[in-house]
Amino acid sequence: MTDTATLAGLDPDTFGDLLRVAGSPGFDRWRDQVRRTGGCANPIHLTGWTLTKDKATGQALHHYSTEDEPGGRLRVACGNRRASRCPACAWMYAADTYHLIRAGLAGDQDKDVPATVRDHPRVFATLTAPSFGPVHNRPDSGRCRCGTHHAPDDDALGTPLDPDTYDYAAAVLFNNHAGNLWQRFTNRLRREIAARAGLTQRELKEVVRVSYGKVAEFQKRGAVHFHAVVRLDGPAGPKDPPPSWATVQLLTDSIHAAVVHSYTSITVPAAADQPARELRWGSQLDIRPIRAFEAGTDITEQGVASYVAKYATKAAETTGTIDRRVGNREVLVLLEVPDHPRRLIEACFDLDGLYPDRRLRAWAHMLGFRGHFSSKSRRYSTTLGALRQVRADYRATQQREELGLSDPDQDPTVLVLTDWQYAGQGHTPGESVLAASIARDLQLNRETAREALALEGDRS
Ligand SMILES: [Zn+2]
Ligand SMILES: [Zn+2]
């Protein structure tokens, strides 16, 4: 058995547990449960029952209890967004984000966004952080300022040339205020658009609505930046065409002006040894028109949606920080957090007492960032909640059809009683291996389906 275990890359204990699970009488049902969670790495266990009754006669139409399930439990997905915590649920989140962004670009009849949204002016904009000190990089000349040619995967990339002069405090304060800076940017953007159209803000509202969907990404240096789809609609949203003066050029010019405007900055007051700081976006600003097909510097709808989905699950882990809250400095040493992210986390600890309302300690593992990883304006497209509901409804309908039951929401003659209790979370080592393989299979199927869909879209 040890030889087979080694072949599978597993330690003998895990392999033994895997065989136990696979050989247990409830295995098929267990696999079915885990498949329904999408191969969740850390499922929540529930015990309980549900009873569907005929309201008039009191007759039990259907009874489900976890008593008959493997281990007497039902496993449901953990729903964690971070790939490092639960790849399966993170993939689901990425897929939802992809559909959300794509619906706002190409339209989606099911989701109340017509295909005519493609004719509205829209761009893909990247707003970056300013410099907090020189970092190791790969310039076009090839040679970094430290004198080396760094390989693309060099861990030194993005870390400061001189950590002693790098402004760690400014770096985490910027991350911490990034959401507020975004808010200021969108406010200013409306003013810039109104000014170019010769309208007041109030008049603008009556003819144009500015919609966006955005995602945050951490650069290697640990600074957060935003990628956003910005779109102009008529006052009623995606179904409503904007006026003819609302062009891609006007939108692009307005974004440029809004980013550099003095209103789009935030002053952090001086405190103890910290000077007052003026936080603003960096000078690197990328704005590209979005077309249905690639042309020159334009990018495609598909490209934008994939890009945004990719970043939606990454959080700050790419910078070498950790994926959960940090209790104290000792933990950083124990977990061998690399020097650069460790200093950023420590800067959060150091500044916490000076700016208590910014909750820097609580967000230290996010290098100070406290905003949402992906967010959108109200009328951009559908919501993640709506997508989850569609999926839940679909599953519920499927199950009811299997059982030959009618929809309780539609059917006033039935009564549903339920009682559920939390009974734990997670997998045994062997279950983990099996769940990961289920998750991989499901993802492969989804990717194949998505590629087929993309091909279909290109043909139409
Ligand atoms: Zn999960
Ligand atoms: Zn260097």
Residue 353 to residues 74, 274, 331, 349, 456: CA-CA distances in angstroms? 44, 12, 20, 8, 56
Strand order in the sheet with 122-127: 299-300, 285-291, 122-127, 224-233, 209-218, 374-376
> Could you say which DSSP state residue 306 is in?
H
- Give the three-state DSSP class for 294: coil
Ligand sitting nearest the alpha carbon of 160: 2
Ligand sitting nearest the alpha carbon of 155: 2
Alpha-carbon 140 to chain mean position: 31
d(CA 51, CA 203): 56
Q: What share of the chain is helix, strand, coil (3-state, %, to 5)?
A: 45, 20, 35
pLDDT given at position 176:
96
The stretches in the chain having pLDDT less than 50 are 1-2, 459-460
Residue 451: left (phi > 0), alpha (psi -120 to 50), or beta? alpha
User: At residue 164, what are phi and psi to the nearest 5 degrees?
Assistant: -70, -25
Cα 227 to averaged position of ligand 2 atoms, centre (Å): 27
Which residue type is seen at 432? Answer: S
Cα 138 to averaged position of ligand 2 atoms, centre (Å): 8
Tokens of 149: 């040619």
Residue closest to 408 by CA, chosen among 396, 419, 398: 396
Residue 323 to residues 86, 95, 147, 214: CA-CA distances in angstroms? 11, 21, 33, 21
pLDDT given at position 326:
74
Cα 89 to averaged position of ligand 1 atoms, centre (Å): 4
> Could you say which DSSP state residue 313 is in?
T
Show the 3-state SS of 406-434: CCCCCCCCEEEEEEEEEEEECCCHHHHHH
Tokens of 129: 């952080």
Cα 88 to averaged position of ligand 1 atoms, centre (Å): 6
Instruction: Count the residues in the chain.
Output: 460
> Could you say which DSSP state residue 68 is in?
G
Rounding to the nearest 10 degrees, give the CA dihedral for residues 30, 32, 35, 39: 0
Asked if residues 57 and 415 have their Cβ atoms less than 8 Å apart, the reply is no
Asked if residues 239 and 114 have their Cβ atoms less than 8 Å apart, the reply is yes
Ligand sitting nearest the alpha carbon of 144: 2
Ligand sitting nearest the alpha carbon of 146: 2
HSE-CB of 384 using CA atoms within 13 angstroms: 18
Cα 219 to averaged position of ligand 2 atoms, centre (Å): 16
Ligand sitting nearest the alpha carbon of 145: 2
> Could you say which DSSP state residue 223 is in?
-
Ligand sitting nearest the alpha carbon of 90: 1
What burial letters (b/e) apply to 16-28, b meaning 16+ CB within 10 Å? ebbeebeeeeeee
pLDDT given at position 1:
46
Ligand sitting nearest the alpha carbon of 139: 2
Cα 285 to averaged position of ligand 2 atoms, centre (Å): 24
d(CA 301, CA 380): 14
Cα 133 to averaged position of ligand 2 atoms, centre (Å): 13
Cα 174 to averaged position of ligand 2 atoms, centre (Å): 24
d(CA 375, CA 41): 25
pLDDT given at position 460:
43
Cα 154 to averaged position of ligand 2 atoms, centre (Å): 9
Ligand sitting nearest the alpha carbon of 149: 2
Residue-wise pLDDT for 231-246, tens only, equals 999 999 889 999 999 9
Neighbours of 51 (CB within 10 A): 15
Tokens of 437: 């393989």
d(CA 435, CA 64): 24
- Give the three-state DSSP class for 119: helix
Cα 156 to averaged position of ligand 2 atoms, centre (Å): 7
Ligand sitting nearest the alpha carbon of 157: 2
Ligand sitting nearest the alpha carbon of 439: 1
d(CA 249, CA 378): 24
Asked if residues 48 and 76 have their Cβ atoms less than 8 Å apart, the reply is no
Cα 81 to averaged position of ligand 1 atoms, centre (Å): 8
Residue 71 to residues 5, 16, 46, 423: CA-CA distances in angstroms? 25, 18, 11, 11
